[in-house]
Amino acid sequence: MNQLEQLKQYTTVVADTGDFQSMQAYAPRDATTNPSLILKAVQKAEYLPLLEQVLQQHAGKTMDEIIDHLLIAFGLKILAIVPGRVSTETDARLSFDTEKTVAKGRHLITLYQEAGIPKERVLIKIASTWEGIQAAQILEKEGIRCNMTLLFCLPQAIACAEAGAQLISPFVGRIYDWYKKQTGQEIYGADDPGVLSVKKIYTYYRKFGYATEIMGASFRNTSQILELAGCDLLTISPDLLQKLSDSNANLTQKLNTDAARTSDLEKIVMDEKTFRFHLNEDAMATEKLAEGIRMFCADTLKLEQMIATMR
């Protein structure tokens, strides 16, 4: 078996792309999107007709409504390919507004249901701010499953799990990027700081019995992926999926529940004050969370500008 086939023995593989045409070759179970991936996709000639169709069908509607329908259009195409779930992201500009994030999550699920998609096949992506986590707690109680994104540290992961979030997406590659910039060194393998962060979260969840799924995300190289074999899910870009497919090197399971349960990690009681203090103490997590929100906001604005020129 190639490495991708071996990986699927231990971990659910998810496609990290808005390019649904590239998914079929790798047979992922789920797929994730975000504003940057959608923007990248609609700039390709093969996806422009989908955007044009949305604009034609929803002429006269507000920009927010058109963006929502575009997200759903991509989601429906993806769900026709993958057997599992698609993650659809809320507007990053709502990252510090619990009430509006809840409303957006409900609205996106309603649009999917109107298209005949059961809510169990959709994950609503929300930034892992305190306000976003509170929104997820409300949505989860309504049966709307959430994927907590832009997650960079254990306190965020704990708060998400205690809120009952379905899934978290710790950003391995962006953590790696921060430490590489700080130290000027490239750290590979088991010592990669992004890998170590996910391993710590995995260990904490398993030791204390949290049901929230862990989906490693934002990979820079296959080494990061191989070191997390055994994680619940890994969302991987098409280029790295291809590299895994091209390699027949042996792959071994690195994460397992039995080892995690014997760790010496202590339980942390996570309230808002504790969350904000620990996040503030972690310069990497603080900077990357803020940066990630800004980047997604910027790409949403670019998408809006592109749509405005076509209307």
- How many angstroms separate the first and last alpha carbons of the chain? 49
pLDDT more than 70, % of the chain = 100
The predicted structure's pLDDT at residue 246: 97
Between 261 and 271, whose confidence is greater?
271
pLDDT in tens, 268-302: 999 999 999 999 999 999 999 999 999 999 999 99
Q: Read off the pLDDT of each residue in 157-171 and give the average, rounded to a whole number.
A: 98
Active-site choice (104, 125, 199, 254): 125
Examine the pLDDT at 29 and tell me if it is beyond 90. yes
Q: Read off the pLDDT of each residue in 113-128 and give the average, rounded to a whole number.
A: 98
Examine the pLDDT at 24 and tell me if it is beyond 90. no
Confidence of residue 217 (pLDDT cuts 50, 70, 90): very high
Phi, psi of 271 (to 5 degrees): -110, 180
Distances (CA, A) of 220 to 21, 172, 252: 22, 8, 20
Q: Read off the pLDDT of each residue in 141-163 and give the average, rounded to a whole number.
A: 98
Question: Which distant-in-sequence residues (6+ apart) come within 8 Å of 87 by Cβ?
Answer: 30, 31, 32, 33, 122, 123, 124, 125, 147, 149
Distance from the Cα of residue 5 to its chain's centroid: 22
| C-alpha to C-alpha distance for 310 and 302, rounded to whole angstroms | 13
Q: Read off the pLDDT of each residue in 198-212 and give the average, rounded to a whole number.
A: 97
Q: What is the mean pLDDT of the chain?
A: 96
Q: Read off the pLDDT of each residue in 146-174 and give the average, rounded to a whole number.
A: 98
Distances (CA, A) of 242 to 5, 18, 31, 102, 258: 12, 16, 16, 37, 31
The yes-or-no answer on residue 125 being catalytic is yes
Q: Is 210 helix (H, G, I), strand (E, B) or coil?
A: coil
Q: Read off the pLDDT of each residue in 224-251 and give the average, rounded to a whole number.
A: 97
The predicted structure's pLDDT at residue 311: 85
Q: Which long-range contacts (CB under 8 A, 24 or more apart) does 192-199 make?
A: 192/223, 192/224, 192/227, 194/170, 194/218, 194/224, 195/224, 195/227, 195/228, 197/152, 197/153, 197/154, 197/170, 197/172, 198/170, 198/172, 198/228, 198/231, 199/228, 199/254, 199/255
Examine the pLDDT at 252 and tell me if it is beyond 90. yes
Q: Is 15 helix (H, G, I), strand (E, B) or coil?
A: strand
Examine the pLDDT at 81 and tell me if it is beyond 90. yes
Confidence of residue 259 (pLDDT cuts 50, 70, 90): confident
CA count, 13 A, side-chain hemisphere, 140:
21
The predicted structure's pLDDT at residue 21: 83
Q: Is 160 helix (H, G, I), strand (E, B) or coil?
A: helix
Q: Read off the pLDDT of each residue in 148-173 and give the average, rounded to a whole number.
A: 98
Q: Are 187 and 196 in contact (CB under 8 A)?
A: no
pLDDT more than 90, % of the chain = 95
The predicted structure's pLDDT at residue 241: 97
Examine the pLDDT at 65 and tell me if it is beyond 90. yes
Confidence of residue 125 (pLDDT cuts 50, 70, 90): very high
